[in-house]
Structures are given as C-alpha cells and as structure tokens.
Amino acid sequence: MARTLINVKKTLTRGEAFEIRLLIAHPMESGQRRDSNGQVIARDIINRFSCTYNDMLVLEATLFPAISANPYLSFWAVATETGSIVMTWTDDHGTVQTERVEVTVSA
Amino acid sequence: MNRRAFLLSGAALVAVSVEARATPAEVARLIAALTEGARVVEGGMKLDLPLLVENGNVVAMSITVDDPPPGQHVESLHVFAEANPLPEVLHVRFGPAAARPRIATRIRLATSQSVIALAKLSDGSFRRDSVDLLVTLAACLD
Amino acid sequence: MIWLLLLLLVSPAQAQPRSGYLDAGPDSRAMQDDDTANPAFLWVEQGKVLWGSLGCGGCHGDVATMRGVAARYPKYDAVLGRPVSLARRIATHRAVPDSEDMLALLAVIGLQSRGLPLAIDISGPARPSYEAGKALFHRRQGQLNLACANCHDDLAGRHLGGAVIPEGHPNGYPIYRLEWQALGSLERRLRQCVVGVRAVPWADGSRELADLEFFLGARAAGLVVETPAVRP
C-alpha cells in the first residue's frame, strides 16, 4: 500500500492556522499479540514523529504501542512564509522516513 | 439459536492476546513523575473520546487545550490509559510553529477504563482531563 | 398505475435493504465519510500506482473508465457458466502479484463506482446461480446450526455482544475493518461469519462462494456502492 497520505491546504494566508493531517501505512505491531503458535509477535511501531515548517518545530511526538495501526495524526501550524513542511518518523528498526509538502503563503 | 456460544468463540480468541495490564496506581506514579509537584488544574482542556467504544483497536481521540493566558503557551501533551498493557499512549511537545494546541489521532484500548490527558503550560503548571469509557468487543474475530 | 407498478417492483416481501453503514457506530461512519481520514485510501493510492505499473492503463485508459464496473459484479459469465467476482475477472486476464495488490486494485476500481446503485444481472442463464446462492444463504450449517439468514434476515438490527447484526450486504467491499486494522475482502468477511458458526469455510474460488456472493449482490439491490467502506 502507499506509504503515506498527507492532506494540507497548499495555498495559505499569512497568520492563518492550518491543519496538517496524515495517515501512515504501518502495522504498529504492539509486541503484545501472539501468533497462532502462541509466539509473541515482535514489537514494530513508529516510536518518534516530528514535523517542522521552514525548519521551525511544529511538534514532536513519542508514540507507544497504543497508537492504532496505520496511524492517523492531525495537528495545526500557523502560516508564516512560503516554504516546506517536513515530517519525519522513526520505527523500531531505526528506519527513518521523511515526507515533504510545499506550501505557498500570501500576505 | 446459541448466540452465547458464538460470542464465546470470540472471547476465547481475545484472551490469547491479553497480557499484563497497567494499573491506576502505575499511571498515578507516571503522572507524579511528570508533574513533579507542580499545580495541576482540572479542566481548561478537552479530551475527546467516545464513551462507548465500538472496537478497541481504533478509537478516535482528540485533545484541545483552551488558549492559555497571554504570554503563555502550551508546551506539551501527555496521554495515559489506566488499563492498557502499557500505560503510556502519547507524548507531544509543541514547537514555535504550532498553532492552536489541538491534536487528533486514533488509539488502542484493551478494555473499559479511564484515559487521562495532561497539558503542560509554559509557566510549569498543568491542566488535566479524563474520560471513562466502555469498550465492547466485535463479535467476529480472526 | 405507474406508482402501483413501482411499488410492486421495489417491495417484494423485503423492504429497502439497509446498508451496514447505518449499523456502524458514529466513529466508523465519520471515518468512512472523510476520504482524508479513511485508512482505506492508503490502498486506493497504491491501486492507482498499480493501475499504471501493471499495465492496466495501457489497455483501459484512465482508471475512471472503470466507473460502473464494480456495481455490476459479481457478474454471470456465460462461457464459464458461473458468476465471477471482480477479483477473478481481473486475475483471469492479467497477473496480479499478490493479494494486497489485488485489494488495492479492487479498492481503486470500486471507488470509481461509489454512489452508483448495485446492478447485478440475475436474468436468463444466471438465474440458477442466484437460486443456488439463495439456498446457501438459507442453509443451516456448523456446530451452531445457523444459516446466514438466521442472523442477517431474522435478527438484523439486534445486538450480538457489542455488535449490531447488520443485514450483511456486500456493497462496501473491500472494507477497512477496525477489527482487522487493515483493508480486507468480502471473502475474508464471509470466512469469519462461517467460522463464527463453527462451520468449515468454502474454499476461495469455489462454486459455492461464487453463487453465494452473487446472491448477496442481488439481495442488496437498491443500495449504492460504498467502496471503500469502514466497518467495526
């Protein structure tokens, strides 16, 4: 399946609060489930997430196994300048993924 | 018509996946470690969760903090679930580019329980909200 | 006069079917109502990619040309003498690497028909398959000795544990099911209902399953395609 679905309004007015919404394809295997042979299925979750807007932090989060599979996140930033929103997350294997969205801001 | 048996077949499968649970005392300890004696005010924020959960695998949750007094901002949010296998759910730290202190996500809840959210303000004080919810199981399981 | 005719057409014994959407809780419905919040769209996006990379577009053009197709499936194939599902229709003329890819294709093709009424043609030579599927729907099976109809006709709307028993319509598939935490096929859903009554599920690709799904499609006439739906 696709890695991510990101929804952000691409053209903004300075000072406007805008929503950043994303879905990430990930099993978020909790480490608490057992397979049909009774073996614990190894934990495999996205444990860190961060979002910056023109290199300024919007938020960073620590995620636990209680976050549902295919994580959904929605949060808000303030439009300042035209530029990029960069989202980065890390899973239990240490794999880092980055997605970028460009936004245009008018006065 | 043996509906009970149909249900039990589901319940037996659920039991396999259930491990140790957190306790309210454990959550209280984590919250004490987080707040370190700072003032904790009930309210001033809204933890939104359904009171009746259809399926504990995917529970829509949002947290909105009322605007803090002028000159202050919301530094972070913290969510705990009292009867999940692990009590911590999510910690969020806001940066200077954040707008309204609101986030939404989806969480897992192992059973009926209380979920507690805290917001830390820049003056070091905390706000708190909680929800008691009822989790029902789906009838058909893998 | 026309009114009378219409009434006769739409109300033979059974009233307008009720979509499982209406029996799902407010959170599932909200998830289905908003494409940016529905995790099934992760598969839809993948389906769009596969539409190109597997060469479907080379023959069919834009995936939008598939509008209306999913509403007509399962479809009776006169040559094979049996109903074929959309998945089988695809697989018989184009290799699809794995089942996740197939789900993604079914999601994106089904989405093209969203909002269109189901239009399963059960006339002529297709009729015996419909009747065979109907018989299976009413046949008691398993240790619990229950037929699909016991739950989905007789007890629909009642509670079974935490869940409301829906009428059991196939109009939203593939669905994102909260219980699975993934997109899944109608076959997967049916397997669980069959296992639920402690019976042995029909094999994928079996004649029984094809007839049953054909009947389910016709039984849901009047509902619109909801693919990709969200269910608890």
- Delimit the domains of chain A by residue range: 3-31+40-106
Asked, for residue C48, whether it belongs to a domain, the answer is: yes
Instruction: Write b or e for each residue in A24-58: b if 16 or more Cβ atoms lie within 10 A of its Cβ, otherwise e.
Output: bbbebbbbbbeeeeeeeeeebbbbebbbbbeeebb
Of residues A38, A58, A63, nearest to B90 (C-beta): A63
Q: What is the pLDDT of residues B98-124, one digit of tens each?
A: 998 999 999 999 999 999 999 999 999
Rounded to the nearest 5 degrees, what angle is found at the Cα of B91, between the Cα atoms of A17 and C42?
Answer: 65
Q: What is the mean pLDDT of residues B82-92?
A: 95
| Chain A partners within 8 Å of C42 (Cβ) | 1-2, 4-5, 23, 25, 70
pLDDT recorded at residue B136: 77
Chain B residue numbers touching A57 (CB-CB < 8 A):
93-98
The total of structural domains in chain C comes to 1
CA distance C198 to C12: 32
Computed over every residue of chain C, the mean pLDDT equals 93
| CA–CA separation, C75 and C106 (whole Å) | 15
What type of residue is A50? S
Q: Please report the pLDDT score of residue A2 as a whole number.
A: 62
| pLDDT value at residue A101 | 97
Q: Which of A32, A66, A78 sits opposite B17 (nearest CB)?
A: A32
A41 touches chain C (CB under 8 A): no
Contact check, Cβ <8 Å, B52/C25: yes
Asked if A64's CB is within 8 angstroms of B93's CB, the reply is: no
Query: Does A68 lie at the interface with C, CB-CB under 8 angstroms?
Result: yes
**H-helix segments, C139-206:** 148-149, 186-196
Q: How many CB atoms lie within 10 A of CB C154?
A: 12
CB-CB neighbors (< 8 A) of B6 in chain C: 144, 146, 160, 196-197
Asked if C218 and C138 touch (Cβ cutoff 8 Å), the reply is no
**CATH topology classification for A3-31+40-106:** Immunoglobulin-like (2.60.40)
This prediction has a pTM of: 0.91
What six digits make up the tokens of C37? Answer: 């919040």
φ, ψ dihedrals at A56, nearest 5°? -100, 140
| Interface A:C, Cβ pairs < 8 A | 37
Residue B21: pLDDT band with limits 50, 70, 90: confident
Give me the interface pTM, i.e. the ipTM. 0.93
Substitution target from B4, B62, B140, B142 for chain C, most C beta carbons within 10 A = B140
Task: Evaluate if residue B10 carries a pLDDT over 80.
Answer: no
Please answer yes or no on whether C144 and B138 come within 8 Å at the CB atom: no
Count CA within 13 A, CB hemisphere, residue B10: 20
Asked, for residue C6, whether it belongs to a domain, the answer is no
DSSP calls for B18-71? ------HHHHHHHHHHHHTT--EEE-SEEEE--SEES-TT-EEEEEEEPPPSTT
Percent of chain C at pLDDT > 70 equals 94
Q: Give B100-120 as a 3 state SS string.
A: CCEEEEEECCCCCEEEEEEEE
Q: Do B100 and A18 touch (CB under 8 A)?
A: no
Can you list the residues of chain C whose pLDDT is less than 50? 1-13
Banded pLDDT at B140 (limits 50, 70, 90): very low
How many whole angstroms separate alpha carbon C71 and alpha carbon B84? 42
- pLDDT for B6: 43
Q: Which of A7, A16, A32 to mutate to test the interface with B (most CBs of B within 10 A)?
A: A32
Question: Environment class of residue B121 by beta-carbon count within 10 Å: exposed (0-12), middle (13-18) or buried (19+)?
Answer: buried
C103-120: b or e for each residue (b if 16 or more CB lie within 10 Å)? Answer: bbbbbbbbbbbbeeebeb
B106 neighbourhood in chain A, CB within 8 Å: 67-68, 71-72
Which residue of C lies nearest to A4 if distances are taken between CA atoms?
C42
Q: Which chains touch B (3 or more CB pairs under 8 A)?
A: A, C
pLDDT given at position C166 = 96
Query: Where do the structural domains in chain B lie, given as residue ranges?
Result: 21-135
Question: Which chains are adjacent to chain C, needing at least 3 Cβ pairs under 8 Å?
Answer: A, B
Note the pLDDT of residue C23.
94
Question: Within 13 Å of residue B142, how many CA atoms lie on the same side as its CB?
Answer: 13
- Residue to test with chain B: of A26, A35, A55, A76, most B Cβ within 10 A: A76
Structural domain span for residue C32? 11-231
- Res. B141: pLDDT tops 50: no
Q: What is the CATH number of the domain that holds C217?
A: 1.10.760.10
* Residue numbers of chain A with a pLDDT score lower than 70: 1-2
Who among A7, A28, A70 is closest to C36 (CB)?
A7
The region of weakest confidence among A24-28, B2-6, B41-45 is B2-6
Q: Across the interface, which of B93, B99, B108 has its CB nearest the CB of A77?
A: B99
Of C36, C49, C181, the CB nearest to A69: C181
Shortest CA gap A9–chain C (Å): 12
Check C27 against B140: CB less than 8 A apart: no
Partner-chain residue, chosen from B3, B52, B142, that has the shortest CB–CB distance to C160: B3
pLDDT score recorded for residue B54: 87
- Asked if the Cβ–Cβ distance from C161 to B60 is below 8 Å, we say no
- Residue B3, SS3? helix
* B21-135 CATH choice from 2.60.40.2470, 3.90.1150.10, 2.60.40.2380, 3.40.50.720: 2.60.40.2470
How does residue B16 score in pLDDT terms, banded at 50, 70 and 90? very low
Secondary structure (3-state) at C220: coil
Q: Which residues contact C204 (CB under 8 A, 6 or more apart)?
A: C187
Region B55-81 average pLDDT: 95
Active site positions of C, annotated: 193
Q: Does B12 touch chain C (CB under 8 A)?
A: no
CB C178 within 8 A of CB A72: no
Please give the interface size between B and C, counted as residue pairs whose CB atoms are below 8 Å apart: 73
Q: Are the C-beta atoms of residues B79 and B61 closer than 8 Å to each other?
A: yes
Mark yes or no for CB contact B99/A69 under 8 Å.
Answer: no
Q: Output the pLDDT for position C14.
A: 58
**Residues of C numbered 49-78 whose beta carbons fall under 8 angstroms of chain A's beta carbons: which are they?**
49
